[in-house]
Structure 1
Amino acid sequence: MTEKKQASLTTRIVTGMVAGILIGSLLQWLMPDGSDAVIPLYLFDLSIRGFLVDGVFEVGGQIFISSLQMLVVPLVFVSLICGTCSLKDTTKLGRIGGKAIALYLLTTAIAISFAMTLALLINPGEGVDMAAGSTFTSREAPSLAQVIIQMFPSNPFAAFAQGNMLQVIIFALLFGIAIALSGKAGERVAALFEDLSEVIMRLVTILMNIAPYGVFCLLAGLFTDVSLSTFGNLIKYFFVVLLVLLLHAFITYPTLLKLLTGLNPLVFLKKMRDTAIFAFSTSSSNATLPVTLETTTKKMGVKNSIASFTVPLGATINMDGTAIMQGVATVFIAQVFSQDLTLTDYLMVVLTATLASIGTAGVPGVGLIMLAMVLEQVGLPVEGIALIIGVDRLLDMTRTAVNVTGDSMVTVVVGKSEAQFDEAIFNDENAGKNIEDIDFHHLDKR
């Protein structure tokens, strides 16, 4: 009797997503408008909201997210050091970084320009009134000068503890360069970090196997309180943002990939499926980072020396989905408050949102904070953000999937341009198909 083959990770995650949405929608039907339902048992009454929604689903989902976030700092730090110290030529490192940053900023500028153009054509804010008594309390957004200054850590251990990814990246790059220039001592330290990288990636494999259960808990809890009826007057805004996100993912990225590498965009999109689904479920580019790194190396054939540099960098500075939301939201809020923006204002939005993406953390909901900075730059009331909070959670899930797709596209382009890319692996539909079968040993020595 043959052993039954386990379903693929993608199948299990999709099953968890569907089950979570169905269970959450059922509970919302049983408990409309945030009410509770009680099941009488023999000795006590069981509160469905208290036990399931605020209990099992909340605890299970948050443990899963925390487990992923636990890996982010060590994974980024170790991976960047391994990638940097393997590039013995420091001029090559500068060339790779320059290409990656230029492409990330280019795609972000295209994204927000595309978003505002479509929003101006569709006019999602016409006829929408500001909800009475709605308020949004924003934290003070940092200036561009502050963002640049804060990129450099005064205390790297504080950066680790606080999860300040820009500072972690800067320190890792400097540390990796120092290792590459330290001769025999550097080689011994580099070998240690290669072993650490293998151990961390094995831990990623373990956590990926519990992903379907975490995804189920997250979506079951989310859809208990969120439904299409929540959108109300914002349905037009919602679908404009969604349309631009989809166009950017399925037109902009494939077009750039084809023009810059000549590779088949359909193969790329197919291999991005697992990562995009995972990003959609977690709403966090940082939490998805381990999966993105695995996809670009094992499924797409980019050598680890490139991917370990461009993927963490992209998870930190490449926020195309967030830029799209900011572009549409700016036009929407301006129309809601009947404020006309000049061409100069629109150009300022493009510039501000593009540069703000560098300081946007890859965690759920942070795009709203950066939107406050964009609105202030063109004199729009920050209180307008209150209008879109209700639908932002679902849009956040979609734009995270777009963000990680952009990270992977740029990684493939840079890898191909540096001859650090295996096209045979890219074209092999079975390459890295099952994460359980991955051998993480010496990824960069294929």
Structure 2
Amino acid sequence: MSRKDAAPQAGGGFWGKMELWKKIVVGMVAGVIVGAVMGPEAEVLKPIGTLFINAIKMLIVPLIFCSLIVGVTSMQDSRKMGRIGAKAIILYLGTTAIAITIGLSLAAIFGPGEGLNMVAKDSATMGKEAPPLVQTLLNIIPKNPVGALAAGNILQIIVFAIGLGVSLTLIGDKAKPAIAVFESLAEAMYKLTEIVMKFAPFGVFGLMAWVAGKYGIDILLPLIKVIAVAYLGSLVHVLVFYTGIISFVGRLNPIRYVKALVNPAAVAFTTTSSSGTLPATIKASREELGVSKGVSSFVLPLGATINMDGTALYQGVCALFIAQAFGIDLEMSDYMLIILTSTLASIGTAGVPGAGLIMLSLVLTTVGLPIEGLAIVAGIDRILDMARTTVNVCGDMMVSVLIAKSEGELDETIYNAETSSANSEVETA
């Protein structure tokens, strides 16, 4: 879409001309202020945010399903699809291990739990267990694809979509009508996403007002150090590690990557949903970073499901915080076990609601830390979830850029453009 084409849509006064991410920031700040003033009564505004989240969730299943099929069929080569998939999984797991190492390191340096002197009780409170990895692998093949679509089982949907996409590629010309249908459906979902995203600032306002009103500053103060360390780790992982990989491995200007993150990061931060941010992530990757349709349609939905860099970083911070709070000294073997468990659990808990807390309960159990510690961080989980989801989304985009570059499917003319039409039209994202 050119600037000329977008001009009529930029009308509607000052608000209509404002870029989407700026509108989201306005909604976020206004929500915090209103929530702080109203206190618990701000919960009356939560339905506004809930409506927006429901609209986002409405898009997830058909968007992932159609995008994956379009991505696989556009490759025209099942071997290439397998190669890209292998690269994506290796990169996602590798960056997850680095993320939790950063979290552990910063928690060790700043000691957010030191001095709390908490005592573990004989409590029956247990965290929800993550599903065993073997069971997860057995369950990824859907017995009923329609049932998987209806239930929103993302892993099963991905497997079925990839299988269907590969089959359509293998049957040649007979697949063209079906492929055309999925391409049309994918485009329709992108357009519906544009419509839904216009309401993002209002949904964000409702969500932030509820969060600020519910938690308040009094509850946040005792745990402010945990939040600060988690957010610092998130910034280090994105602005140092990701940009370093983009620069030294991808041989690309990291500033372009950071600029393209703004809109998807704003959506991820407020919605706390990697899958819900997928429309904005795909759009920014294609239009601002030059990632091909085939790579973005395959790698990004996969990353939205299995990439948990931000969640892993959160595990490191919270696990060490709980150990410090209860006065438990961890050995180097414990640190290695935390890294290994969190990295593998990032696949085992993929697509499970509340994956962050589920993964944390798994880590605490594995290392022998008091499971009661789960309740301590559960109260601020929403605030931590904002940071970890943002990191997850930034990681998805980084991996898509690297894979596109390695496959010769990165349009560096778009990536290196001084200005991007997509950036000026972000309100239609």
| TM-score, length basis structure 2 | 0.92
Cα pair distance change 1:424/1:213, threshold 3 Å: same
How far apart, CA to CA, are the structure 1 residues paired with 2:203 and 2:112? Answer: 35
Give the aligned partner of residue 420 of structure 2: 430
Give the aligned partner of residue 184 of structure 1: 173
Q: Give the SS at the match of 2:369.
A: coil
Give the aligned partner of residue 85 of structure 1: 73
Q: Which is bigger in relative contact order (C-alpha 8 A, separation at least 6)? A: 2
Cα pair distance change 1:436/1:113, threshold 3 Å: closer
Give the aligned partner of residue 389 of structure 2: 400
Stretches of structure 1 that go unaligned for 5 or more consecutive residues are 29-33, 35-48, 439-446
Give the aligned partner of residue 111 of structure 1: 99
Q: Give the SS at the match of 1:388.
A: helix
Q: Identify the match of residue 249 of structure 1 among 238, 242, 260.
A: 238
How far apart, CA to CA, are the structure 2 residues paired with 1:273 and 1:350? Answer: 29
Matched, 1:100 2:111: no
Give the aligned partner of residue 59 of structure 2: 71
Superposed, 1:60-209 pairs within 5 Å as 60-130=48-118, 137-209=126-198
Deviation at 1:78, TM superposition (A): 0.3
**Residues 106-125 of structure 1, C-alpha deviation per residue, up to 9 Å, x if partnerless?**
11000111211222222222
Is the 8 Å Cα contact of residues 135 and 386 (structure 1) preserved in structure 2? Answer: no
Is the 8 Å Cα contact of residues 136 and 385 (structure 1) preserved in structure 2? Answer: no
How far apart, CA to CA, are the structure 2 residues paired with 1:364 and 1:295? Answer: 26
Deviation at 1:307, TM superposition (A): 0.2
Q: Identify the match of residue 335 of structure 1 among 324, 335, 358.
A: 324
How far apart, CA to CA, are the structure 2 residues paired with 1:362 and 1:395? Answer: 18
**Residues 171-209 of structure 1, C-alpha deviation per residue, up to 9 Å, x if partnerless?**
111110000001222122111111111111110111111
Is the 8 Å Cα contact of residues 130 and 349 (structure 2) preserved in structure 1? Answer: no
Amino acid of the structure 2 residue aligned with 1:278: V
Matched, 1:366 2:352: no
Cα pair distance change 1:371/1:259, threshold 3 Å: same
Deviation at 1:151, TM superposition (A): 2.0
How far apart, CA to CA, are the structure 1 residues paired with 2:352 and 2:258? Answer: 23
Q: Identify the match of residue 234 of structure 1 among 190, 200, 223.
A: 223
**Residues 80-125 of structure 1, C-alpha deviation per residue, up to 9 Å, x if partnerless?**
0001011121111111011111111111000111211222222222
**Residues 353-374 of structure 1, C-alpha deviation per residue, up to 9 Å, x if partnerless?**
0111123346874301111111
Q: Identify the match of residue 206 of structure 2 among 196, 208, 217.
A: 217
Cα pair distance change 1:308/1:135, threshold 3 Å: farther
Amino acid of the structure 2 residue aligned with 1:60: I
Cα pair distance change 1:330/1:54, threshold 3 Å: closer
How far apart, CA to CA, are the structure 1 residues paired with 2:226 and 2:422? Answer: 38
**Residues 286-320 of structure 1, C-alpha deviation per residue, up to 9 Å, x if partnerless?**
11111111111111110110001111111111111
Q: Identify the match of residue 14 of structure 1 among 13, 25, 45.
A: 25
Give the aligned partner of residue 27 of structure 1: 38
Matched, 1:307 2:299: no
Stretches of structure 2 that go unaligned for 5 or more consecutive residues are 1-7
Q: Give the SS at the match of 1:302.
A: coil
Is the 8 Å Cα contact of residues 314 and 407 (structure 1) preserved in structure 2? Answer: yes
Amino acid of the structure 2 residue aligned with 1:15: V
How far apart, CA to CA, are the structure 1 residues paired with 2:428 and 2:368? Answer: 54
Matched, 1:349 2:338: yes
Deviation at 1:346, TM superposition (A): 1.5
How far apart, CA to CA, are the structure 2 residues paired with 1:409 and 1:257? Answer: 7
**Residues 406-437 of structure 1, C-alpha deviation per residue, up to 9 Å, x if partnerless?**
00000011011111111111122223121466
How far apart, CA to CA, are the structure 1 residues paired with 2:338 and 2:185? Answer: 42
How far apart, CA to CA, are the structure 2 residues paired with 1:413 and 1:93? Answer: 15
Cα pair distance change 1:436/1:238, threshold 3 Å: closer
**Residues 230-258 of structure 1, C-alpha deviation per residue, up to 9 Å, x if partnerless?**
12332222222121111101101000111
Deviation at 1:285, TM superposition (A): 0.7
Deviation at 1:131, TM superposition (A): 8.2
Cα pair distance change 1:332/1:187, threshold 3 Å: same
Deviation at 1:136, TM superposition (A): 5.1
**Residues 127-151 of structure 1, C-alpha deviation per residue, up to 9 Å, x if partnerless?**
1144898985522221221222222
How far apart, CA to CA, are the structure 2 residues paired with 1:223 and 1:131? Answer: 30
Is the 8 Å Cα contact of residues 87 and 403 (structure 2) preserved in structure 1? Answer: yes
Amino acid of the structure 2 residue aligned with 1:91: R
Give the aligned partner of residue 443 of structure 1: none
Give the aligned partner of residue 316 of structure 1: 305
Give the aligned partner of residue 442 of structure 1: none
How far apart, CA to CA, are the structure 2 residues paired with 1:307 and 1:258? Answer: 20
How far apart, CA to CA, are the structure 1 residues paired with 2:304 and 2:327? Answer: 36
Is the 8 Å Cα contact of residues 263 and 426 (structure 2) preserved in structure 1? Answer: no
Amino acid of the structure 2 residue aligned with 1:95: R
* Larger CA Rg, structure 1 vs 2: 1
How far apart, CA to CA, are the structure 2 residues paired with 1:336 and 1:185? Answer: 63
Give the aligned partner of residue 277 of structure 2: 288
Deviation at 1:322, TM superposition (A): 0.6
Number of residue-to-residue matches in the alignment: 414
Deviation at 1:390, TM superposition (A): 2.1
How far apart, CA to CA, are the structure 2 residues paired with 1:253 and 1:413? Answer: 11
Deviation at 1:9, TM superposition (A): 1.3
